[in-house]
Amino acid sequence: MKKYRSRKNRIRLRILIGLISSLVIVLVVVAMLNVTKVLKAIAEANMRSITTVAVNDAIYYTLSDGVRYEDLVTVEKDGAGNVVSLTSNPLQINRIARDAAYMSQQNLQRMSESGVEVPLGAFTGVEAWAGFGPKINMKIIPISNVACRFVSDFSAQGVNQTKHSIYLEIVADISIVMPSGTSNFASLTEVLICESVLLGKVPETYLQADLFGDGYSLAPSPPQ
């Protein structure tokens, strides 16, 4: 009888140990998932800030010499003063897009070399504590792909007056490789390059379409 009870107790003990072990494993997995989630959010927020600065610096550097409307678009009019054609300058447009994309990518790589600062509280996996504690530098491996394109917008300004605005749109696709996992996001920056008020009627074909098309210009190669 005692032997039977002893065996039964051992079985109960094993079941109890198994349940406790399973509970510990579940808690560890949940904690790791929460920590990964918090760390990804912090790293992404830091990289978004870095991306914004990197892109804006690249645009400032690329356009430091100034760009006039006439450098990008040629306007032809008829004898009555109406616009008959708008022609973009592909060489100048491609140069600016290429240089801006290249400089953005170089800035991103340089600025992310130092890693990101993560508060110690983030490693608890509790979002409410993520901003507390001393900061620890966490190394990241950013993988970026930067693309640029010009977009235009026409808006009526009065009788036979149309404002033509030209923007540079930069899209940075970022992948962050961290010990806790990988995070992917895209950052869009749009900057007004120049604008002009066109006097005379503008053909509807130009008003309803983008003068520069829909294609992006990838520019990983250094500017010439």
Q: How confident is the model over 112-146, as pLDDT tens digits? A: 777 777 665 665 555 555 555 666 667 767 777 88
Q: What is the mean pLDDT of residues 210-220?
A: 61
Q: Is residue 48 part of a domain?
A: yes
Summarize pLDDT for 87-98 with one digit per residue, the tens: 888 888 888 888
Q: Is residue 172 part of a domain?
A: yes
Q: Is residue 224 part of a domain?
A: no
Radius of gyration of the chain from Cα atoms? 29
* 26, pLDDT greater than 80: no
| Banded model confidence at residue 223, pLDDT cuts 50, 70, 90 | very low
Q: Is residue 223 part of a domain?
A: no
Q: What is the mean pLDDT of residues 1-16?
A: 65
Domain residue limits at 145: 2-218
Q: What is the mean pLDDT of residues 45-68?
A: 83
Q: Is residue 41 part of a domain?
A: yes
Position with higher pLDDT, 172 vs 217: 172
Average pLDDT, the chain: 76
Q: Is residue 55 part of a domain?
A: yes
* 2, pLDDT greater than 70: no
Q: Is residue 47 part of a domain?
A: yes
- What's the number of domains the chain is made of? 1
